[in-house]
């Protein structure tokens, strides 16, 4: 039985972090720690001296990890995974899932692979949920703007709700724009004219 | 005519301007390129995007390809630097509490003299100074180290130069996690705008003509794709020339602040582009003609001696052989490809590919392929001269 690996997950959002940790648990008995506060990230990670670090590809804080490669001895320096490796399929999956990983140089690939597979699967889920959340939020925002624009039109032209909406839709189609964009332009203009 | 797709990566900074301009004003199209630009969230992400072939070329901190050639950092690939996108462009700033202490001790924030600014900073900082830089391999890091080491003053007991992503710099400053920062514009001006920092020096006060960002590709890519590399280099070079023309400066800020480019207003971007910075929240203005240079003075030429200086500095700090490092670093800056691809586009080319760094106190004519060209002043604040043939001296 090889010793359990020490894994650090850098993730601010608590729920997402828990999801990822659950996924990693399924990949074996490993020592998983989450770091949520990204200030002094490099020092916090160095203090734990992990075998593997997982971080969101989109996180600007990733640059702080580069210091780790300098702080440790060349023998066990962490290297960025998925760069210049032969496993193209895994690299692509990792990029699509939005996860970047750092492992200690020399760690055996067969030990890392199941963990990374699990990590990729979980980050994929996180990514999907995040995209859905963003889409819902956007739809909500658009709805609010459209309602405001509708109100403006109803007052200005003294028309009913349906007619106001039809007018915006017609304009949007004529200009090849989205209704939300037309509504936004109207709201912005109305604010300027106040 | 067949249009060739080309993908370039960048970070949202003022010195990504040549890529935006090449795309927006048709310089890429003119070369038969369908240029797509890809924003990266961090320097390590951009480096990986280039290493993995998600982009063909990328804006890159000049020291990154040098560090990779020396085997430093968390990546195993190698890059070539084909041309500089710009010289200078970094600013150094301090937190508001530190600025207040410096003012109380009589410092006037002249934004010019690196000696007096350094002394005032060290005195006000006392025993602890933490400086944020965007990346361990960056001109920000190099300039800060060079400056502090050559002040002739004892350094604080707790001196820490740590990585903070540019967009998070104001936050870190306000939270008291760092006392000072070195960052590329517009993020310095952004910190002033937010009222959390006062600008202390432009990077050019430390080295008056420092390489800053390069156009990088995977090693060997430009040699294997000479036609495409040539088209890309000419498009970017012509964009740099356009930006360098003073009459275009207002347009530069407008184009950079358009949706999907930099998340900063044109007015703030224009401070860097025009070299007129607001250094504090009380609105003090400082003029720095060479704050950032995209074209003049052969700013795009990848001098092997610039790379050698970076290599020598990195080696000294990380315990590597400096003579070896300077040589290996010099090979990263592809002056040969610059000559090959930009000669016919109209670039005047210097007679040599390396020079003494820091030897020119004023703009000076030197031999070029067409006769002579003017190189700008390139002095270090401490008047040292770097001779690439004797790097360890």
Among A63-72, A159-168, B152-161, the range scoring the smallest mean pLDDT is A63-72
Share of chain A above pLDDT 70, in %: 90
Structural domain contains residue B360: no
Domain total for chain B? 2
Give span(s): CATH 3.40.190, chain A. 6-132
Minimal CA separation from B42 to chain A, in Å: 5
Question: Phi/psi of residue B96, each to 5°?
Answer: -60, -45
Taking the C-alpha atoms of residue A163 and residue A154, their distance in angstroms, rounded to an integer, is 8
**To the nearest 10°, the Cα dihedral for A10, A12, A17, A18?**
140
How does pLDDT run across A131-162, given as a tens digit for each residue? 888 899 999 999 999 999 999 999 999 999 99
How does pLDDT run across B163-194, given as a tens digit for each residue? 998 888 888 999 999 999 999 988 999 999 99
Q: Is A72 on the interface with B (CB under 8 A)?
A: no
Q: Are the C-beta atoms of residues A29 and A72 closer than 8 Å to each other?
A: no
> Mutating which of A10, A63, A72 best tests the B interface, going by the most B Cβ atoms within 10 A?
A63
On whether both B237 and B302 belong to a single domain, the answer is yes
Q: How confident is the model at residue B107 (pLDDT cuts 50, 70, 90)?
A: very high
Give span(s): CATH 1.10.10.10, chain A. 136-193
Structural domain contains residue B391: no
> What average pLDDT is seen over chain B?
94
Closest CA to B360 of B152, B140, B203, B207: B207
**Cβ-nearest to B41 among A60, A74, A91:** A60
The upper half-sphere exposure of residue B67, i.e. CA atoms within 13 Å in the direction of its Cβ, equals: 25
Is the predicted pLDDT of residue B334 greater than 90, yes or no?
yes
Q: Are the C-beta atoms of residues B375 and B297 closer than 8 Å to each other?
A: yes
> Which residue from B minimizes the CA distance to A85?
B52
On whether both B222 and B195 belong to a single domain, the answer is no
On whether both B99 and B247 belong to a single domain, the answer is no
Q: Is B39 on the interface with A (CB under 8 A)?
A: no
Q: Are the C-beta atoms of residues B93 and B125 closer than 8 Å to each other?
A: no
Q: Is A79 on the interface with B (CB under 8 A)?
A: yes
Domain ranges, residue B197: 90-209+279-289
Note every long-range contact of A132-137, with CB atoms under 8 Å and residues 24 or more positions apart, other chains counting: none
> Which residue from B minimizes the CA distance to A91?
B52
Is the predicted pLDDT of residue A7 greater than 70, yes or no?
yes
Is the predicted pLDDT of residue B92 greater than 80, yes or no?
yes
Structural domain contains residue B374: no
Q: How confident is the model at residue A82 (pLDDT cuts 50, 70, 90)?
A: low
> Mutating which of A45, A52, A60 best tests the B interface, going by the most B Cβ atoms within 10 A?
A60
Q: Would the CB atoms of B73 and A66 count as touching at under 8 Å?
A: yes
Task: Say if the ipTM goes beyond 0.90.
Answer: no
Which CATH number fits the domain that encloses residue B178?
Answer: 3.40.190.10
Q: Would the CB atoms of B52 and A67 count as touching at under 8 Å?
A: no
On whether both B234 and B345 belong to a single domain, the answer is yes
Q: How confident is the model at residue A86 (pLDDT cuts 50, 70, 90)?
A: low
Structural domain contains residue B61: yes
Structural domain contains residue B364: no
Burial of B2 (C-beta count, 10 Å sphere; 0-12/13-18/19+): exposed
Query: For B38-54, what is the mean pLDDT?
Result: 92
The CATH number given to A6-132 is: 3.40.190
On whether both B240 and B307 belong to a single domain, the answer is yes
Is the predicted pLDDT of residue A85 greater than 60, yes or no?
no
- All residues at 6 or more sequence positions from A68 whose CB lies less than 8 Å from its CB, including other chains: A42, A45, A46, A53, A77, A78, A102, B74
Tokens of B296: 């003049």
Is the predicted pLDDT of residue A74 greater than 70, yes or no?
no
**Cβ-nearest to A63 among B44, B52, B77:** B44
Q: Is A139 on the interface with B (CB under 8 A)?
A: no
On whether both B189 and B338 belong to a single domain, the answer is no
Alpha helices for A63-108 (secondary structure H): 66-71, 88-97
On whether both B126 and B151 belong to a single domain, the answer is yes
Structural domain contains residue B112: yes
Structural domain contains residue B274: no
pLDDT at A20: 87
Question: Phi/psi of residue A98, each to 5°?
Answer: 75, 35
On whether both B16 and B101 belong to a single domain, the answer is no
DSSP letter, residue B4:
E
Share of chain B above pLDDT 90, in %: 88
On whether both B124 and B189 belong to a single domain, the answer is yes
How does pLDDT run across B194-234, given as a tens digit for each residue? 999 999 999 999 999 999 999 999 999 999 999 999 999 99
Q: Are the C-beta atoms of residues B212 and B182 closer than 8 Å to each other?
A: no
Angle at B31 between CA B89 and CA B213, to 5 degrees: 15
How does pLDDT run across B239-293, given as a tens digit for each residue? 999 999 989 988 999 999 998 898 888 998 999 999 999 999 999 999 998 999 9
Architecture of domain A136-193: Orthogonal Bundle (1.10)
> What average pLDDT is seen over chain A?
84
Helix (H, G, I), strand (E, B) or coil at B354: coil
């Amino acid at each position: 039985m090889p010793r359990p690996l020490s894994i650090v997950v850098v993730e601010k959002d608590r729920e997402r972090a828990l999801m990822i940790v659950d996924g990693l648990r399924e990949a074996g008995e490993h020592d998983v720690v989450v770091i949520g506060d990204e200030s002094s990230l490099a020092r916090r990670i160095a203090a734990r001296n992990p075998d593997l670090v997982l971080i969101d590809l989109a996180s600007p804080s990733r640059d702080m990890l580069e210091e780790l490669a300098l702080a440790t001895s060349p023998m066990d320096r962490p290297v960025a995974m998925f760069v210049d490796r032969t496993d193209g399929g895994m690299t692509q999956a990792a990029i699509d899932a939005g996860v970047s990983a750092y492992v200690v140089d020399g760690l055996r690939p067969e030990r890392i692979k199941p963990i990374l597979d699990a990590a990729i699967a979980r980050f994929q889920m996180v990514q999907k949920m995040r995209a859905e959340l963003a889409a819902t939020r956007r739809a909500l925002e658009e709805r609010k703007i459209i309602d405001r624009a509708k109100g403006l039109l109803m007052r200005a032209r003294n028309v009913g709700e349906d007619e106001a909406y039809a007018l915006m839709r017609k304009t949007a189609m004529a200009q090849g724009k989205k209704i939300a964009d037309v509504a936004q332009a109207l709201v912005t203009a109305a604010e300027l004219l106040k | 005519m067949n249009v060739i797709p080309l993908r370039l990566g960048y970070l949202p900074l003022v010195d990504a301007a040549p890529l935006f301009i090449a795309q927006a004003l048709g310089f890429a199209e003119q070369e038969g390129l369908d240029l797509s630009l890809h924003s990266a969230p961090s320097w390590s992400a951009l480096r990986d995007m280039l290493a993995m072939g998600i982009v063909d070329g990328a804006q890159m901190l000049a020291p990154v390809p040098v560090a990779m050639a020396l085997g430093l950092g968390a990546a195993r690939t190698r890059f070539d630097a084909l041309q500089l996108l710009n010289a200078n462009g970094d600013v150094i700033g301090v937190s508001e509490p530190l600025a207040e202490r410096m003012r109380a001790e009589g410092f006037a924030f002249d934004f010019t003299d690196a000696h007096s600014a350094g002394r005032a900073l060290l005195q006000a900082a006392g025993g602890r100074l933490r400086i944020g830089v965007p990346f361990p391999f960056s001109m920000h890091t190099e300039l800060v180290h060079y400056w502090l080491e050559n002040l002739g003053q004892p350094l604080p007991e707790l001196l820490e130069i740590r990585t903070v992503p540019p967009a998070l710099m104001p936050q870190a400053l306000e939270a008291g996690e760092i006392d000072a920062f070195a960052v590329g514009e517009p993020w310095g001006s952004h910190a002033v705008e937010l009222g959390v920092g006062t600008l202390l020096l432009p990077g050019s006060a430390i080295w008056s003509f420092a390489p800053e960002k390069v156009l990088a590709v995977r090693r060997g890519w430009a040699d294997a794709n000479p036609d495409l590399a040539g088209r890309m280099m000419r498009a970017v070079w012509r964009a740099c020339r356009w930006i360098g023309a003073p009459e275009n400066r207002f347009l530069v800020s407008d184009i950079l602040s358009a949706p999907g480019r930099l998340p900063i207003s044109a007015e703030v971007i224009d401070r860097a582009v025009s070299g007129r910075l607001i250094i504090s929240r009380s609105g003090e203005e400082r003029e720095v003609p060479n704050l950032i240079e995209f074209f003049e003075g052969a700013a795009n030429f990848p001098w092997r001696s610039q790379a050698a200086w970076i290599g020598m500095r990195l080696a000294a700090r990380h315990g590597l052989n400096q003579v070896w490092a300077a040589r290996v670093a010099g090979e990263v800056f592809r002056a040969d490809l610059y000559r090959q691809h930009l000669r016919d586009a109209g670039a005047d080319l210097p007679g040599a590919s390396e020079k003494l760094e820091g030897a020119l106190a004023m703009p000076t004519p030197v031999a070029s392929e067409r006769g002579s060209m003017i190189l700008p002043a390139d002095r270090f604040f401490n008047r040292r001269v770097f001779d690439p043939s004797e790097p360890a001296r």
